[in-house]
Amino acid sequence: MIEARLWEAAPGGGAKCRLCSRRCSIPEGGRGFCRVREVRGGVLYALNYGYDGALSVDPVEKKPLYHFLPGTTTFSVGAPGCSFDCLGCQNASLSRPDPDWPGVRGAEVAPERLARAALETGAKSLSFTYSEPTVFYEYARDTGEAALAMGLPSVWVTNGFMGAEALDGVSGHVRAMNVDLKGFTEAFYREVTGGRLGPVKDTIVRAKGLGVWTEVTTLLIPTLNDGEDELRALAGFLAEVDPMMPWHVSRFAPMRLQRHLRATGTDELERARRIGRECGLRHVYLGNARGPSYADTLCPGCGETLVARDGYSVLRNGLGADGVCPSCGIRVPGVWGWGASLAATPSPGTGVTTGVATSYWPGHGLG
C-alpha cells in the first residue's frame, strides 16, 4: 500500500481523486468506485500496488494490436480494480473484486522484478491489461518506466476513461494503446458500463496527439450497439481522427449479466467492416471469429496482403521495419520494427510521428 498519485485533499475531509474521469470524492475510510483506492488519515492510498492478479505471455495480436510489432509476444499483467462496471465483463472477478479481493490479489512483485521477468521471457513488450491499467496507475507507471530502461516498451489495453493528467503521465513509456470504444451513445455507456462516452473519445484523440500508437476495439453486442447509424457515427469519428487507425470489431459472447443476449453473427461483423470502410477507415479487423482476411493487414495503396494471420498467429509478414509495402512502396502506419527508437511510420496528413492463450496465474511466486 502506497500513497496514490493524482489526488487532492477535499474540503471538509476525505480526498478528491483525479485519476480517471469519474473524479470520485472519497470520504475518510471510504473507497473510490474502482474499489482499490482508499482514504486513511486524510491520505489517498493505492491498495493494489505491486499485486498481480493475472500474468501471461500472449501474442501481441491478442491485445489486439495488429500494427505494433506483429508476431511478437507481450508479457501481460493485470491487477485488481476497474473504473467501469460492464454488464458483460469477462474478467469481473479481477476487475470488480469484492473489497478484500479474495483469490485475485496474487503475489506481491516489485516493479523492477516484474520488468526483469518480462524481459527474461523474450517478450518484446509489456502489456497492462485484463483489468483497467488506469486504476493500478502507480504500479503500471513504475513498472513501465523500469521496463523501458531495460529496452522494453509498454502497452495499455484500456477503456479510455482516464483523465488527461494520467495519460500524460504514462505517455513517455507507453508506446501503444488499444482503447475499447464500447459504443457510441451516452445512453449505452451509462446503462452498460456505468461510465461516459465523451472522455473515451477525448482519450483516443489525445493519445494520438501524444504520439502513442493507437488502435481501437468495439465489441459488437446485438441490439445494444450495432445499429447502422451508431456504427456509422463511430467509424466516422475514428476516420476523422485518423483514417489509418486500426479498428477491431469483435464478436460478442454472452457473459455475466448479459447471458440473455445472443452471440454476434459473422454476417453482422462483416456488415460492420463494410460500414467502417465506407466511412473511410482503411484497416478494419474482425475479432473472436475466423473468416477470409478477417485479421489480415492489407496495403491501403495496392491491396496487397502484407501480414497474413490465422487467429492470433502471424503466418507471413511482408513488411520490414520501415513499414514499406514491397509492391507499391507506400508506407503503412504502425510500429513494425524492433529497435531503440521504436519509431512508427506516420499516418499521412496527421502530422504525428510516433513511434499463447491467456491464463490466470495468481500466486505465481515471482516475488
Q: Is 335 part of a structural domain of the chain?
A: no
| DSSP 8-state assignment for residue 221 | -
What Rg, from alpha-carbon coordinates, does the chain have?
20
| Paired residues of 179 in beta bridges | 158, 216
* Statement: residue 120 has pLDDT above 70: yes
Cα angle 200, 166, 284 (rounded to 5 degrees) comes to 35
Whether residue 70 is found in the same domain as residue 88 = yes
Whether residue 233 is found in the same domain as residue 137 = yes
What is the overall mean pLDDT for the chain? Answer: 89
Contact 27, 42 (CB under 8 A): no
Whether residue 7 is found in the same domain as residue 156 = no
pLDDT digits (tens, 9 = 90+) for 125-175: 999 999 999 999 999 999 999 999 999 999 999 999 999 999 999 999 999
Whether residue 24 is found in the same domain as residue 61 = no
Q: Could you tell me which of 145, 176, 175, 180 has the C-alpha nearest to residue 162?
A: 180
Beta carbons within 8 Å of 12's beta carbon, 6+ residues apart: none
Whether residue 22 is found in the same domain as residue 74 = no
Q: HEC states along 249-261?
A: EEECCCCHHHCCC
Whether residue 17 is found in the same domain as residue 119 = no
Q: Quick one: cell of 215? A: 488502435
CA-CA distance, 161 to 194, in Å (whole number)? 11
Contact 254, 261 (CB under 8 A): yes
Q: Is 351 part of a structural domain of the chain?
A: no
Beta carbons within 8 Å of 119's beta carbon, 6+ residues apart: 147, 150, 151, 152
Long-range contacts from 318-323, C-beta under 8 angstroms, 24+ separation: 319/70
Q: Is 318 part of a structural domain of the chain?
A: no
Show which of 284, 302, 320 is a domain's final residue: 302
Q: Is 359 part of a structural domain of the chain?
A: no
Task: Work out how many domains the chain is built from and give that number.
Answer: 2
Contact 77, 143 (CB under 8 A): yes
Beta carbons within 8 Å of 216's beta carbon, 6+ residues apart: 178, 179, 180, 181, 204, 238, 245, 246, 247, 248
Q: Is 245 part of a structural domain of the chain?
A: yes
57 phi/psi in degrees, rounded to 5: -105, 115
- Output the pLDDT for position 207: 97
- Coil, helix or strand at residue 7: strand
Whether residue 215 is found in the same domain as residue 280 = yes
pLDDT digits (tens, 9 = 90+) for 177-231: 999 999 999 999 999 999 999 999 999 999 999 999 999 999 999 999 999 999 9
pLDDT band, very low/low/confident/very high, at 298 (cuts 50, 70, 90): very high
Whether residue 22 is found in the same domain as residue 125 = no
Number of H helices, E strands in the chain: 8, 19
Q: Could you tell me which of 112, 197, 103, 186 has the C-alpha nearest to residue 146?
A: 112
Percent of the chain with pLDDT over 70: 89
Show which of 245, 278, 302 is a domain's final residue: 302
Q: Is 307 part of a structural domain of the chain?
A: no
Whether residue 19 is found in the same domain as residue 133 = no
Whether residue 7 is found in the same domain as residue 133 = no
Containing domain of residue 159, as a range?
51-302
Q: Is 348 part of a structural domain of the chain?
A: no
Tell me the pTM: 0.91
Q: Is 308 part of a structural domain of the chain?
A: no
Contact 116, 144 (CB under 8 A): no
CATH code, domain carrying 144: 3.20.20.70
Whether residue 60 is found in the same domain as residue 85 = yes
Whether residue 155 is found in the same domain as residue 254 = yes
